[in-house]
Structure 1
Amino acid sequence: MKRIGQMLGAVTLSLAVQSVFAADLGQDMETLENNYELFQETQNTQQALTALTAMQKAVLDAKQSIPMKLIGQPDNSPEVLGYRKALDGLNTELTQTLALVKAGNLQQAHEQAIPAIDNMRKANHQKFR
């Protein structure tokens, strides 16, 4: 009976930890979504820089978690590695976009980044959501 209680405790703790990770990841994804919308709509360089910087911070934070779909997968599984690689790709795109905006090329940043980020989002939501 004591063993069953220990097992139930372990399962409960595991579920609690998973929901905390999911909530943090959910917040990161919400930050990405809100700031991406702002970036798409703004013609103001400072607003674009602020939005892109917030997105980059959310991407780096999101790498500390994994989506619910991947819970239980080992850290070195192809799925988890693919998830982290997708976030690295988004981070690279954001770094390039920040450089364009800082150089005064907001319009070019919009033209290059928006289709690229849209494609990344579509492909990776299909895989990991």
Structure 2
Amino acid sequence: MNKWLVALLGIAAMATSAVSQANVVQDQMKLIASNYRTVLKTDSPEEFKQGLEAMKQAATLAEQGTPSKLEGQDKDSASMKDFRYGLTTLIGEIDSAKALADAGQFEQAKQAAEQFKLTRDEFHKKYK
């Protein structure tokens, strides 16, 4: 009986872990979206940079998780690598926009941020 109980608890823990990871990704994606709205609407370079930083932190955390659409796949599967590549691409775009803002090129930085939509759309089709 004890072996069954231990096995059942192990299975429950693994299932909870997978759901938890998917929720982490989902929660971080919501943070990215929320901050992206701020980045697109603000006229303040400081608020713009803060929004970009929050987006980058959320993308970095999401990169470590597994989206619900890919639950059960190996972390080294082609789909998981592509999911992480999408977030790495977004992080690079965020860094580029921040560099423009830091250089005083706020309008160019905002234009660069508009391009995040292309990355979002491409990877949402696959993994959302």
Report the CA distance between 1:4 and its aligned residue.
4.5
1: CA distance, partners of 2:2 / 2:46: 60
CA distance in 1, matches of 2:24, 2:111: 31
**Structure 1 counterpart SS, 2:15:** helix
* SS in structure 1 at match of 2:97: helix
Secondary structure of 2:65 counterpart = coil
Deviation at 1:3, TM superposition (A): 5.1
- Supply the distance in 1 between the matched residues of 2:87 and 2:69 (Cα, whole angstroms): 16
Q: How is 1:20-35 mapped onto 2 (pairs within 5 angstroms)?
A: 20-35=20-35
1:20 Cα deviation (Å)? 1.7
Match of 2:124 in 1: 125
Unaligned runs of 5+ in 1: none
**Is 1:38 aligned to residue 2 of structure 2?**
no
Q: TM-score, normalised by structure 1?
A: 0.91
| Cα drift, residue 2 of structure 1 | 5.4
Residue matched to 1:82: 82
Task: Tell whether 2:58 aligns with 1:62.
Answer: no
Tell me, yes or no, if the aligned pair for 2:22 and 2:71 is still in contact at 8 Å: no
Identity of aligned residues (%): 26
Task: Output the CA distance in 2 between the equivalents of 1:94 and 1:112.
Answer: 8
Deviation at 1:10, TM superposition (A): 2.4
Once the two structures are superposed, residues 16-35 of structure 1 have per-residue CA deviations (whole angstroms, 9 ceiling, x without a partner) of 11222122222211110110
Q: Alpha-carbon deviation of 1:85? A: 0.6
Write the distance in 1 (CA, Å) between the matches of 2:22 and 2:110. 30
Letter in 1 for 2:87: L
Q: Secondary structure at the match of 2:81?
A: helix
| Alpha-carbon distance, 1:9 to partner | 2.3
How many residues end up aligned between the 2 structures?
A: 128
CA-based RMSD of the aligned residues comes to 1.4
Alignment-derived partner of residue 48 in structure 1? 48
Unaligned stretches of 5+ residues in structure 2 = none
- 3-state SS in 2 of match to 1:69: helix
